[in-house]
């Protein structure tokens, strides 16, 4: 019998996270503050506990996963690795296609992989409550779930219009014991300022973030911290359980390794979680093609130079070394919300600089075609973000067919699209259009970077 799912026993779960920062051939450039000087751990201490900040700046290769954390992760981990046999057959490819299903956690995404950990380390640091912001409620749900398990209070500032219109997400958070507050709220000065100007405001994510940070900073007891679910190094670290499990599962499936590793790439944690353990193998000499995927219309990784950039047009925020299209970049239309980040996680950016990963961009119409093919063979309807990874997977599988090679391809399944059917409706009605960024638009955008300080790219030239 041909197996569809390759499961690990709970005792086979990874007991350490893998820290790519230890093996990067060239070190990360530090984030810079508005004054141009590196951001120090002390500057972040008002919102993050020092044990997490230590992970943020750590260059230790392996970091032990505390037994208590493992115990909580075991609720849904190890997540299953699937073999996409029906897609293979439909494509007539000799490739072996695998995908890691991260939709099996109680909140339904990979986000609890770090939410659980952050909650636990905060508890160890003596923190009693966490704050965060949420829009649709995915990250808020993950943190509420995590705080319930760990035993922390959780305060989620939810954009008011979402609070009013998404009662089920709010109820999920409240069921897990979190306090979900419509933002802007009278609880913070940031919220009060907005309410004074616009009493009936529907709120925004920007306001909610300001409130969550202020709620942590303003607590004079020092028992409150803020939690972030993307971009930072320690978030990437916690997500590496995905790739570490996947490597064991591939071995169980009888594969010596992966030839191609694929993940959609927004802020980077989804891609990093699967790929970083394979990046380590590549650094050690393995021949692996690792592909972060993005939309053609917003080519942050595939066409932009590596440069310091400001995070906003007002040029007031700290600068992070990242792949960027310039602070004047105008993102064109695309139906994949999670992929619309202006900048990439610094660790992911450095793998691009080194040539360790090979970013690729796909048109949204091609992605929806891939998603339809997937749904009609494997059954699951993928989220728009996931469809980018599927498009790359299909292309690689077809390439393997042309070459007559039995390649092993693996990608990260980042979620179903049942809450995102509007995009499918528009695709099926023929209403979606591709919008590759014209060269002249890109050049115009990049002109905004010419007067900014340029770091010397740290590249060894090995890859």
Partner 1 sequence: MEDAISTHDHRSRRCPMLGHDITFEYCRSPGSDVPCRRIFDCWWETFDVGGFIRSAYGEKMIPEILAPREDKASSIVELIEKARRNAESH
Region 271-330 residues binding partner 1, contact defined as CB under 8 A: 311-314, 316-320, 322, 325, 327-330
The helix-helix angle for 421-428 and 364-375 (nearest 10°) equals 100
In the complex with partner 1, the residue whose CB is nearer, 288 or 345, is 345
424 contributes a contact to partner 1 by CB under 8 A: no
Antiparallel, parallel or unpaired: β 62-64 and 179-183:
unpaired
In the complex with partner 1, the residue whose CB is nearer, 207 or 246, is 207
In the complex with partner 1, the residue whose CB is nearer, 82 or 276, is 276
Q: Which of positions 169-208 make contact with partner 1 (CB under 8 A)?
A: 169, 184, 188-190, 194, 198, 201-207
230 contributes a contact to partner 1 by CB under 8 A: yes
In the complex with partner 1, the residue whose CB is nearer, 198 or 428, is 198
Place of tokens 């779930």: 145
* Residue from the set 88, 102, 214, 294 that interacts with partner 1 by CB under 8 A: 214
CA 366 to CA 362: how far, in whole Å?
Answer: 7
In the complex with partner 1, the residue whose CB is nearer, 90 or 328, is 328
162 contributes a contact to partner 1 by CB under 8 A: yes
In the complex with partner 1, the residue whose CB is nearer, 149 or 344, is 344
Structure tokens at 44: 């972040």
* Residue from the set 273, 295, 299, 343 that interacts with partner 1 by CB under 8 A: 343
CA 100 to CA 83: how far, in whole Å?
Answer: 9
Helix (H) or strand (E) holding 148, with range, is helix 138-150
141 contributes a contact to partner 1 by CB under 8 A: no
CA 265 to CA 294: how far, in whole Å?
Answer: 6
Q: Which stretch binds partner 1 (CB under 8 A): 40-48, 366-374, 389-397, 410-418?
A: 40-48
- How far CA 77 is from CA of 14, 33, 71, in Å, comes to 10, 38, 10
* Residue from the set 78, 107, 108, 135 that interacts with partner 1 by CB under 8 A: 135
CA 303 to CA 301: how far, in whole Å?
Answer: 6
455 contributes a contact to partner 1 by CB under 8 A: no
Q: Residue 311, class by beta-carbon neighbours within 10 Å (0-12 exposed, 13-18 middle, 19+ buried)?
A: middle
437 contributes a contact to partner 1 by CB under 8 A: no
Nearest approach in angstroms of CB 335 to partner 1 is: 7
CA 357 to CA 1: how far, in whole Å?
Answer: 35
Structure tokens at 381: 């309807």
Q: Residue 397, class by beta-carbon neighbours within 10 Å (0-12 exposed, 13-18 middle, 19+ buried)?
A: buried
Number of residues counted as binding partner 1 (CB under 8 A) = 77
Nearest approach in angstroms of CB 203 to partner 1 is: 5
Nearest approach in angstroms of CB 370 to partner 1 is: 19
Q: Which stretch binds partner 1 (CB under 8 A): 43-51, 274-282, 356-364, 405-413?
A: 43-51
In the complex with partner 1, the residue whose CB is nearer, 105 or 224, is 224
Q: Which of positions 253-272 make contact with partner 1 (CB under 8 A)?
A: none
Structure tokens at 440: 């002249």
47 contributes a contact to partner 1 by CB under 8 A: yes
CA 351 to CA 358: how far, in whole Å?
Answer: 9
136 contributes a contact to partner 1 by CB under 8 A: yes
Q: Which stretch binds partner 1 (CB under 8 A): 69-77, 91-99, 213-221, 367-375?
A: 213-221
Q: Which stretch binds partner 1 (CB under 8 A): 61-69, 70-78, 113-121, 136-144?
A: 136-144
CA 10 to CA 85: how far, in whole Å?
Answer: 25
Structure tokens at 332: 């064109």
Q: Which stretch binds partner 1 (CB under 8 A): 131-139, 148-156, 246-254, 399-407?
A: 131-139
Place of tokens 């319930």: 148
In the complex with partner 1, the residue whose CB is nearer, 171 or 433, is 433
| DSSP E strand stretches across 274-318 | 289-295, 306-310
HEC profile of 439-453: HHHHHHHHHHHCCCC
Give the residue from 109, 139, 112, 144 showing the smallest Cα distance to 129.
144
Structure tokens at 3: 């197996």
Nearest approach in angstroms of CB 32 to partner 1 is: 9
């Amino acid at each position: 019998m041909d197996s569809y799912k390759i499961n690990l026993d709970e005792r086979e779960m990874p007991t350490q996270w893998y820290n790519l920062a230890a093996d990067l051939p060239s070190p990360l450039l530090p984030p810079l503050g508005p004054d141009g000087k590196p951001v120090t751990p002390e500057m972040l201490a008002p919102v993050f506990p020092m044990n997490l900040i230590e992970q943020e700046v750590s260059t230790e290769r392996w970091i032990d996963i505390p037994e208590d954390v493992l115990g909580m992760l075991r609720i849904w981990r190890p997540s299953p690795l699937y073999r996409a046999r029906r897609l293979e057959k439909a494509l007539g490819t000799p490739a072996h296609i695998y995908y890691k299903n991260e939709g099996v956690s109680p909140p339904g995404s990979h986000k609890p992989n770090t939410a659980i950990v952050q909650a636990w380390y905060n508890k160890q640091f003596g923190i009693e409550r966490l704050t965060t912001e949420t829009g649709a409620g995915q990250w808020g749900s993950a943190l509420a779930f995590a705080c319930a398990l760990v035993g922390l209070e959780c305060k989620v500032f939810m954009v008011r219009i979402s609070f009013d219109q998404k009662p089920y997400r709010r109820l999920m958070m409240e069921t897990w014991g979190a306090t979900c507050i419509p933002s802007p709220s009278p609880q913070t000065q940031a919220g009060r300022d907005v309410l004074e100007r616009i009493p009936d405001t529907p709120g925004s994510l920007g306001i909610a973030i300001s409130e969550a940070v202020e709620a942590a900073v303003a607590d004079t007891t020092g028992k409150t911290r803020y939690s972030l679910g993307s971009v930072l190094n320690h978030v990437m670290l916690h997500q590496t359980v995905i790739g570490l499990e996947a490597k064991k599962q591939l071995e169980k499936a009888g594969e010596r390794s992966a030839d191609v590793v694929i993940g959609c790439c927004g802020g980077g944690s989804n891609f990093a979680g699967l790929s970083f353990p394979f990046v380590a193998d590549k650094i050690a000499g393995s021949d692996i093609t690792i592909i972060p995927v993005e939309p053609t219309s917003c080519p942050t990784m595939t066409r932009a130079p590596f440069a310091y950039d400001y995070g906003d047009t007002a040029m007031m925020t700290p600068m992070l070394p990242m792949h960027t299209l310039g602070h004047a970049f105008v993102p064109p239309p695309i139906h994949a919300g999670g992929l619309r980040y202006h900048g990439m996680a610094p660790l992911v950016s450095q793998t691009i600089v080194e040539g360790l990963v090979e970013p690729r961009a796909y048109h949204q119409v091609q992605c929806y075609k891939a998603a339809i093919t997937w749904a009609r063979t494997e059954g699951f309807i993928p989220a728009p973000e996931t469809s980018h990874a599927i498009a790359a997977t299909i292309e690689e599988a077809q390439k393997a067919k042309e070459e007559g090679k039995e390649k092993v391809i693996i990608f990260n399944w980042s979620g179903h699209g049942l809450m995102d059917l509007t995009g499918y409706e528009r695709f099926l009605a023929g209403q979606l259009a591709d919008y590759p960024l014209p060269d002249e638009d890109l050049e115009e955008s990049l002109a905004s970077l010419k007067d900014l300080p340029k770091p010397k790219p740290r590249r060894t030239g090995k890859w």
